[in-house]
Amino acid sequence: MKKYIAACALLFLLITGYAKPCSAGRESASSMFQYGNDAYKGGNYQKARECYEKVLNDGYVSPSLYYNLGNTCFKENRIGWALLYYEKAHRLAPRDRDINYNLGLVRDAFAQSALYSSDERMMWFKGFCTINECTVLVSVLYFAFMTLLISYVFYRQERFFWVLCTTGFLLLCFSIILGTAVYDRETMHYGMVVAPSAEVRSGPSYKENVTSIIPEGCKIRIIRKEGEWVEISVKARTSKDEATYGKIEGWIPDKDQSAI
Amino acid sequence: MEKESGRSKLILPPEGAETREGGATGRRAHLHVITRSYDHMIERKDCRSIFKVILMLSLLCVLIALRSAVWAQDIELSAEVDRSSISLNEQIMLYVTVRGDINSVPEPVLPNLSDFSILSKSQSQNIEIVNFQTTASIGYQYILQPRRTGNLVIGPVTLDYDGKTYKTASVSVVVTKSGGGLAVPAPVPTRPQLHLPPVMPSIQPPAGFPGSFPSVSMPFDDSPGIAAFATVDKKSAYMNEQVILTVHFYYPAGTSLERRYLPPTNAGFLTEEIAPTQKRTVAYQGRQYMVEDIMFALYPIQAGKAMTIGGVTINYQVRDFFHSQDTIKTEPLSIDVLSLPSGAPQGFSQAVGVFQVEASLDRTDTPMDEPVTLTVKVTGEGNISTLDFPLKNLDGFKKFDTTETHKSQWDGAHVTGEKIFKTVLVPQKTGTLQVPELSFIYFDTSKKEYRTISTKGLSLAVTPAAQKGNMAGQPSQGGTEPVTAQKSDIHYIKTNFSGREGDRPPLYRNTLFMGIQLVPLLVLIAMTVRTKRQESLQRDPLGARKSKAYGLFRKNLDAAKRNLAGKKTSEFYGALQKSLIDYVRDRYQMGSGLTIQQIRENLEEKKLPEDLLNSLEAILKACEQARFLPGTMNEKDCQEHLRKCSEAVTRMEKKFS
């Protein structure tokens, strides 16, 4: 049994990426990241952004990379892009203090977050842990539950009964949460308005009427894509005093937004 | 009502009414329609006069609205210059006139005159009332100095009034280098205004009363003794030097009169009024006179001998029943205007007089990208209103437009004043930035030489940008709300990379991970199966042995094969015999310790074929023989018996399945 556990643990480590491969490419990406940091320190935000973008284009992903990109974009007054990168960083590291602070600060100060809200679901979950963390948690609970079940049923370990019940209940709860989160991830797509403002039209063409205008940094839900256009939905506050929201739905040019 | 409806049958219903109500719906409905339409006609007769009144009233309203609309639209806007070609050091007059029925018209907006400096601006108004209709014209006069040579264009002047935009045509001016045509500038019109003399206590005439009374034809005895003459404070002046023109207006003390004056029409001078006028009383030929001193500051803009200063016209009316409005005009004067000496230092901008200059910043330290205001103040006596202070680009700063304000005052002998130039600077780098000494060159009229004075150098400590609230490099506009309510900035960047290659799919998409999740489930299933089998074994041992018989046979046969490979013939036959006997015993649930004959009998009962039974018997006998008489069997026999044994068991298994 011990051998099994050791083998499983090893596989876990391999899968969840704790055993990182160290390569020459990674080292060059790391040094490029450092160049970007140096440029940022020197106040050359454009150069810093170019360095970070190069690391990103080389296929590297990290919360600090997105976070630093967000900072440079903010310094360059590109609020939409800054928010986009902060959101991406937040998805990777939802409990990071700096990322949450900057995301909140920029969103509240610039993006008229009081007026617009994307009807994003599972916000509490997304602010708490990543989907992978939840998957691992459910998996651990599942293994524990099965072990307890086998020992209870086949080895008559009566004292495990309440532990088994508790683990089973937790497993059920977290499985439901994980299932909802996975469903949300697979079916819902969100984006950020990165142009100074985006005209929402009634159809995917410049000939259609403009029904409303949404500002830069506004988080939108992407319903579908058609050529150069995306159909979006966003909630806008309709009353000045009460927090009542109405839905804005329509098409915006794809270039005005970027997917989170 | 019934009577009326009886009469009403004679009247055909209006066609429209019938069709509206539906004529085909029946006779009763038809009658009803007739009655109703007749009732309407009766009412209409009564209402006709009211309708007429309403119609008239609405027509009137429309007319009034139209009329006012026409009036409102009736505006003329024109712009013209006094000359179309000048030299670089000359000035040009731009006249902008708004004419029409105007009560409160905003000032016309001048185009971006980047090629000119606006030296002064004045305004005049003329109002006529003819047949209860007011026509006013407001004239704006601008004195412009070109900044470069070439064909310069003054863009259209615009005026927004009552939702409409009025525009003039563009005007082009050819500017040549200095020494071009000495065209005489047009007269400088200034605002005719009604200055009611301020109430001041009478003062004694000064001892050195300038000049004597000119030979003014005194009016008759019944007319009031009214006279006016003009003096200047100097006989010769440099270009742009201040010359004070004083008009002394005499009238008998105690006379109540209303007067207005028109400033002198001076070619070659810029004219500034000095208000308020001063009043005093003097005695002349036994009569007390009230003297009003009306003063103007003149700045020559053209050199020449005996330049004429035009007379000042005063319109007055004595407030009694016998005198109508009258006019008196002073004699023109002339002074010599000298050109400024040659050798003006670089940067001289036509400032003539005595000046001081100082500069200041509104702050000593500022975050980067936050604007600071540089204030340059020129004070002194001279052509304050027209002087300029060109500011060159400062190292480390981004310079924005300069706004200028000036005020002047009468100090009793001269016009003094101050002109303030405010420039918005945005520091472009951190550290201590220096605003160098700014020099100002003017022609000192008292010493008759060019002088250069400088401001003190200023330093500004620039800290790194603290708050990212406004766009970098642009001054924040006063009055706008700060974008961030709190004084906080974003957190600093992260320095550890901790990146990984590629955006991996989520864990739930990982096949290996999901495969591992099956392990406990498989374990559970295996455990269950195992337990079930154990349980069934405990319940039915014979049945269990029966089901395991073939497996056991194969196991024993393998042991036999191993013996054969090790050339242990007798052990081979022992194992072969055991495997066969055990199989038959378990499969057919016989007891143990049976002889070959007993086995055969038992199997005969199971109705096995005869040849199979013979074969089995032969094998078992061969086994016994080999065990008790070693060396009788060779390897070939062993192989043969092994094959036959397997064959026999396979046949028996087939019978069962």
> No. of H helices and E strands in chain B?
10, 29
* Structural domain for B27, as ranges: 2-53
Question: Mean of the per-residue pLDDT values for chain B?
Answer: 74
- pLDDT tens for each residue of A113-145: 667 776 777 777 888 888 899 999 999 999 999
Which tokens hold the place of A19?
A: 């055993």
B351 residue type, one letter: A
Instruction: Check CB contact under 8 Å for A110 and B472.
Output: no
A175 neighbourhood in chain B, CB within 8 Å = none
- The distance from CA B374 to its chain's CA centroid, rounded to whole angstroms, is 25
Residues of A in contact with B492 (CB under 8 A): 71, 98
Task: Inform me whether the pLDDT recorded for B200 exceeds 90.
Answer: no
Same domain, B638 and B542: yes
More confident call, A81 vs B152: A81
Residues of A in contact with B491 (CB under 8 A): 98, 101-102
B452 and B411 co-located in one domain: yes
Please tell me the distance in Å from A78's CA to the nearest CA on chain B: 10
**What is the distance of C-alpha B307 from the center of its chain?**
53
B36 and B81 co-located in one domain: no
The reported pLDDT for the residue numbered A216 is: 84
Q: Quick check: B490 and A29 CB within 8 A? A: no
- Structural domain contains residue B309: yes
Axis crossing angle, helix B541-565 with helix B635-656, rounded to the nearest 10: 160
Mean pLDDT of B227-249: 85
Contact B441, B344 (CB under 8 A): yes
Same domain for B601 and B645? Answer: yes
Closest-CA distance, A230 to chain B, in angstroms, reads 23
Per-residue pLDDT of B177-188, as tens digits, reads: 754 333 333 333
Which two structure tokens, joined as six digits, stand for A116? 């617009």
Contact status of B522 with chain A (Cβ, < 8 Å) = no
CB–CB of B490 and A17 under 8 A? no
Chain B nearest CA to A144, separation (Å):
10
User: Of B463, B484, B511, which marks where a domain is finished?
Assistant: B463
| pLDDT score for A9 | 67
Per-residue pLDDT tens digits for B263-278: 777 777 888 877 667 7
Q: Determine the average pLDDT of the residues in A177-181.
A: 92
Percent of residues, chain B, with pLDDT higher than 70: 74
Identify which has the larger pLDDT, B561 or B130. B561
Residue pair B645/B580 in contact by the 8 Å Cβ criterion: yes
Structure tokens at B383: 């052509």
Residue position matching structure tokens 């994980």: A178
Give the residue carrying structure tokens 């600090």. A64
B633, part of any domain:
yes
The answer on B391 and B326 residing in a single domain is no
Gap between the Cα atoms of B137 and B160, Å rounded: 16
Q: Are residues B89 and B42 in the same domain?
A: no
Model confidence band, residue B371 (pLDDT cutoffs 50, 70, 90) = confident
The DSSP code for B193 is B
Q: State the pairing for strand pair B92-100/A210-215.
A: unpaired
- Whether A167 shows a pLDDT value over 90: the answer reads yes
Beta-carbon separation of A182 and B502 below 8 A: no
pLDDT value of residue B224:
54
Strand blocks (E) in B285-351? 287-300, 304-309, 313-318, 326-329, 333-338
Q: Which pLDDT belongs to residue B196?
A: 30
- Is B511 at the interface with chain A, CB within 8 A? no
Residue B654: DSSP 8-state: H
Q: Which of A8, A60, A71 comes nearest B516 by C-beta?
A: A8
Kindly report, residue by residue over B479-524, the tens digit of the pLDDT: 444 444 445 688 888 888 877 766 678 888 889 999 999 999 999 9
Q: What's the mean pLDDT in B91-102?
A: 79
Check if A5 contacts B (Cβ < 8 Å).
no
- Give Cα separations from B635 to A71, B413, B556, B629 (angstroms): 88, 151, 19, 15
CA angle B403, B406, B409 (to 5 degrees): 175
Lowest mean pLDDT among A82-86, B195-199, B255-259: B195-199
Cβ of A15 within 8 Å of Cβ of B510? The answer is yes
Q: Are strands B236-238 and B333-338 parallel, antiparallel or unpaired?
A: parallel
CB contact under 8 A, B517 and A142: yes
Note the pLDDT of residue B49.
63
pLDDT digits (tens, 9 = 90+) for A181-191: 999 888 888 99
pTM reported for the whole predicted model: 0.41
Sign of CA dihedral A43, A47, A49, A51: negative
Q: Are residues B327 and B407 in the same domain?
A: no
Answer whether A139 touches B (CB < 8 Å): yes
Report residue A254 CA to chain centroid gap.
20
CA B121 to chain centre: 31
Q: Given this model, what pLDDT does residue B629 score?
A: 82
State how far the Cα of B276 lies from the Cα of B293, in Å rounded to an integer: 9
Task: Kindly state the DSSP code that residue B470 receives in the 8-state scheme.
Answer: S
Mean pLDDT (whole number) for B469-484: 41
Which are the contacts of B463, defined by CB distance < 8 A and separation ≥ 6?
B365, B366, B367, B368, B430
Identify any residues that bridge with B311 across adjacent strands, giving them in sequence order.
none
Amino acid at A180: T
Q: Per-residue pLDDT averaged across A204-216, rounded?
A: 86
CA distance B386 to B270: 10
B651-657 contacts at long range (C-beta below 8 A, 24 or more positions apart)? B651/B612, B652/B583, B652/B584, B652/B587, B652/B608, B652/B612, B653/B550, B655/B608, B656/B587
Helix (H) or strand (E) holding A229: strand A229-237
A 175-194 residues with CB < 8 A to B:
178, 182, 185
**Rounded Cα–Cα distance for residues A253 and A200 (Å):** 9
- Could you say which DSSP state residue A159 is in? G
Decide if pLDDT at B466 tops 60. no
Cβ-contact B394, B435 below 8 angstroms: yes
Whether A24 has its CB under 8 Å from any CB of chain B: the answer is no
Averaged pLDDT, B622-631: 83
Supply the DSSP string of B579-631, one letter for each residue: HHHHHHHHHTT--SS--HHHHHHHHHHTT--HHHHHHHHHHHHHHHHHHHSTT
Total residues found in chain A within this entry: 260
Q: Assign residue B359 the CATH number of its domain.
A: 2.60.40
Nearest to A60 among B495, B500, B527 (CB): B500
- Using 50, 70 and 90 to split pLDDT, how confident is the model at B104? low
**Is B250 found in the same domain as B156?**
no
Residue type present at position A13: L
Give me the residues of A, 58-117, that contact B with CB < 8 A.
59-65, 67-68, 71-72, 74-75, 77, 98, 101-102, 105-106, 109-110
CA distance to partner chain A, nearest, from residue B622 (Å): 49
Determine the residue of chain B that is closest to A97 in CA distance.
B491
Give the pairing type, strands B85-87 and B171-176: parallel
Mean pLDDT of all residues in A45-67: 89
* Residue B125 and residue B82 share a domain: yes
B396 with B322, same domain: the answer is: no
In whole angstroms, what is the distance from residue B547 CA to residue B543 CA?
Answer: 6
- At B64, the pLDDT band (50, 70, 90 cuts) reads low
Q: Tell me if A66 sits within 8 A of A81, measured CB to CB.
A: no
Tell me if B215 is assigned to some domain.
no
**Closest chain A residue to B511, measured at CA:** A15
Of the candidates B490, B508, B523, which has its C-beta nearest A71's C-beta? B490
The domain boundary residue, chosen from B422, B439, B463: B463
Helices and strands (H and E) in chain A: how many: 9, 9
Tell me if chain B has a CB within 8 Å of the CB of A160. Answer: no
Q: Is A15 on the interface with B (CB under 8 A)?
A: yes
Tokens, residue B469: 């609230």
A94, A129 Cβ separation under 8 angstroms: yes
Look at A64 and B499 and tell me if their CB atoms are within 8 Å: yes
- pLDDT (0 to 100) of residue B101: 67
For B546-583, the three-class secondary structure string (H helix, E strand, C coil) is HHHHHHHHHHHHHHHHHHHHCCCHHHHHHHHHHHHHHH
Q: Beta-carbon neighbour count of residue A152 at 10 Å?
A: 16
Please give the distance of CA B231 from its chain centroid, rounded to a whole number. 56
Nearest to B493 by CA among A105, A66, A192: A66
CA torsion angle B535 B536 B540 B542 (round to 10): -110
Determine contact, residues B578/B647, Cβ cutoff 8 Å.
no
Asked whether residue B329 falls in the same domain as residue B376, the answer is no
* Interface membership of A44 toward B (CB under 8 Å): no
Residues 191-250 of A with CB under 8 A from B: none
Residue A231 — pLDDT band, cuts 50, 70, 90?
Answer: very high
Q: Tell me the pLDDT tens digit for each residue of B111-164.
A: 877 788 777 777 777 666 655 566 677 788 888 888 788 888 888 888 887 778
Count of structural domains, chain B: 5
CATH number at residue B116: 2.60.40.740
By C-alpha distance, the chain A residue nearest B368 is: A43
Structure confidence at residue B68 (pLDDT): 46
Q: What is the mean pLDDT of residues B44-65?
A: 60
Is residue B482 situated within a structural domain? no
| Inter-CA distances, B473 with B371, B426, B427, B458, B468, Å | 8, 6, 8, 21, 11
* Contact between chains at A77 and B471 (C-beta distance less than 8 A): yes
Provide the sign of the torsion angle of the four alpha carbons A73, A79, A81, A85, taken in this order. positive
pLDDT recorded at residue B214: 36
B381 and B429: one domain? yes
Cβ distance B583 to B595 under 8 Å? no
B33 pLDDT higher than 70: no
ipTM: 0.79
pLDDT tens by residue, B344-363: 888 787 888 888 888 888 88
